[in-house]
Amino acid sequence: MKLWDKGTSVHQSIEKFTIGKDHELDLFLAQSDIAGSLAHIKMLESIGLLKKDELIILEKELKILYKKAQKGKIAIDIGMEDIHSQIEFLLTEALGEVGKKIHSGRSRNDQVLLDLKLFTRDAIREVTENCSSMIDNLLNKSDEFKDVLMPGYTHLQIAMPSSFGLWFGAYGESLIDDLLLLQTAYKITNQNPLGSAAGYGSSFPLNRQLTTELLGFDSLNYNVIYAQMGRGKTEKIVSFALSNIASTLSKLAFDVCLFMSQNFDFVSLPSQFTTGSSIMPHKKNPDVFELIRAKCNKIQGLPQQITLIVNNLPSGYFRDLQIIKEIFLPAFDELNDCLQIASFAIENISVNKNILDDPKYDYIFSVEEVNKLVEKGMPFREAYKKVGEMIESGRFNPEKKVGHTHEGSIGNLNLDKISEKKKIIIKEFNFGKVEKAISMLTS
């Protein structure tokens, strides 16, 4: 079944090529497609294109299908082109001719646009929840090991004192900034394209504000051409936000792999979190973090892939956009897997509390010694020179303590303020509004 079928058969090889992976990928969109149809038929009834009794039976059947989709019990039959065709077929099979009325006033163009936005909203919420859990674990570890010093590096040379409190907390705050970008992407996503039809509106007196409210959108994509131009653009913007989260995870993974090596010996994982070698019986490999790094580096390529698909398309709909689904929809599961396993591993990571006992790290306290001389009244440049001479002559014997007190330093991590920043950002997503709207629509 094809919604555009006019009785002319398409060559089998052409049909197979043009459908592509839609049978597999459109299942991601099943719940979204049904929720969108529920809002659309309410609007159709409000403008007289459906009778009240038709709306009632359509709503009842669509809600049954929605529950099936929630349980993963919707499949796309052979011969069906996409999820839109499948849902309309199931309605028509159950209810007869009235099932065919749900497409009035919309095109597959704005239907898939809507599906993608509804799906993306939900997917962003799941990523946000996983990010939030990861941040909490990092900040808890930061607090747990706030007094354990470690070397800080510049140019991969030992530089100044750092701490595990700083190290864990840095990645927590980085993910919070990543959430701020994700929130912007969410707000761009959370605009209703339904009613733009094929990109030029409809002669029916559609009530776009009604579907906006029913689906919990913040506002509309008002201009119908721009609504269609948003296909690809929205995915690209969201992919940049996902890429930033992936970048933070990848950097963290690299640090862990480096710090687990025997040359560093800063952190360790339980044996159950590592893998071995088929030839070297001593090996405990950080494969989990190596795979996080690789998967996240792959996700960082997503914006470029989408850009290359859409960057030379003029306004209007083109089938090129279908290919974006193949790389965009699965990316959320991949990133969520990385967030969940990274959070689990960080929760169980151990740190070496005696790193600085090794005299090779003595020099990281050189700045502390310079500052002590400055506090006694010596000009900074003279203090710098004096400590430098002590190091060159082998007379440098520092006190391995730091007294940092300013905001965000070793002795004042401001974890409460970082945590509060996270809470404010998550609250501003306003996920509850969407959850309430969809629940009212589908229950």
Q: What is the CATH number of the domain that holds 72?
A: 1.10.275.10
Instruction: With both helix axes pointing from N to C terminus, report the angle between 52-70 and 30-46 in degrees, rounded to the nearest 10.
Output: 170
- Considering the chain, what is the average pLDDT of its residues? 93
Q: Picking from 281-285, 335-339, 405-409, which range would have the lowest pLDDT averaged per residue?
A: 281-285
Which of 83, 104, 125 corresponds to the end of one domain? Answer: 104
In this structure, the answer to whether residues 150 and 228 fall within a common structural domain is: yes
Give the single-character DSSP code of 222. Answer: -
In a shared domain, residues 125 and 99: no
Q: What is the pLDDT of residue 77?
A: 87
User: What pLDDT shows up at residue 24?
Assistant: 74
Question: 155, 203, 278, 443: which one is catalytic?
Answer: 155
3-state secondary structure of 80: coil
User: What is the identity of the amino acid at 333?
Assistant: D
Catalytic status, residue 46 = no
Give the DSSP per-residue string, 227-277: HHHHHHHHHHHHHHHHHHHHHHHHHHHHHHHHHHSTTT--EE--GGG-B--
In percent, how much of the chain has pLDDT > 90?
A: 83
* Of 227-241, 272-286, 368-382, minimum mean pLDDT range: 272-286
Q: Which residues pair with 412 in a beta bridge?
A: 409
Q: What is the CATH number of the domain that holds 142?
A: 1.20.200.10
Statement to judge: residues 71 and 124 lie in one domain: no
Query: What is the extent of the structural domain holding 327?
Result: 109-206+222-357+413-435
Q: pLDDT grade, residue 6 (50/70/90)?
A: low
The one-character DSSP state at 163 is: E
Q: Do 27 and 43 sit in the same domain of this protein? A: yes
| Same structural domain, 64 and 115 | no
Residue 319 pLDDT: 84
Q: Is 261 inside any structural domain?
A: yes
Residues 339 and 298 in one domain: yes
For the segment 343-364, the average pLDDT, to the nearest whole number, is 95
Same domain, 278 and 423: yes
pLDDT digits (tens, 9 = 90+) for 81-134: 789 889 999 999 999 999 999 999 999 899 999 999 999 999 999 999 999 999
**Of 337, 242, 257, which is closest to residue 289 (Cα–Cα)?**
257
Tokens of 403: 């007294």
* pTM for this predicted structure: 0.92
What's the confidence (pLDDT) of residue 281? 81
Name the helix (H) or strand (E) containing 28. Answer: none
Please identify which of the residues 219, 261, 277, 315 carries the catalytic annotation: 277
Residue of 353 and 278 predicted with greater confidence: 353
Q: Are 373 and 383 a contacting pair, CB within 8 Å?
A: yes
Is 250 within the bounds of a domain?
A: yes
Confidence of residue 276 (pLDDT cuts 50, 70, 90): confident
pLDDT at 366: 93
Q: Does residue 36 surpass a pLDDT of 50? A: yes
Do residues 141 and 280 both lie within one domain?
yes
Q: What is the pLDDT of residues 288-328, one digit of tens each?
A: 999 999 999 999 999 999 999 999 889 888 888 989 999 99
How do 149-154 and 157-163 pair as beta strands?
antiparallel
Q: Are residues 169 and 29 in the same domain?
A: no
Residue 386 lies in a domain: no
Residue 216 domain-assigned (yes or no): no
350 is an active site residue: no
On whether both 226 and 142 belong to a single domain, the answer is: yes
Q: Does a structural domain hold residue 372?
A: no
In a domain, 389, yes or no: no
- Does 401 fall in a domain? no
Spatial distance between the Cα atoms of 395 and 110, rounded to a whole number of angstroms: 75
Judge contact between 298 and 227, C-beta under 8 A.
no
What average pLDDT score do residues 150-154 get?
96
Please indicate, yes or no, if residue 3 is contained in any of the structural domains: no
What's residue 78's pLDDT?
A: 81
Q: Given a cut of 50, is residue 408 above it in pLDDT? A: yes
In a shared domain, residues 186 and 47: no
Domain's final residue, options 104, 122, 155: 104
Domain boundary among the residues 104, 132, 161 is at 104
- How many domains, the chain? 2
What's the confidence (pLDDT) of residue 4?
A: 42
* Co-location of 278 and 167 in the same domain: yes
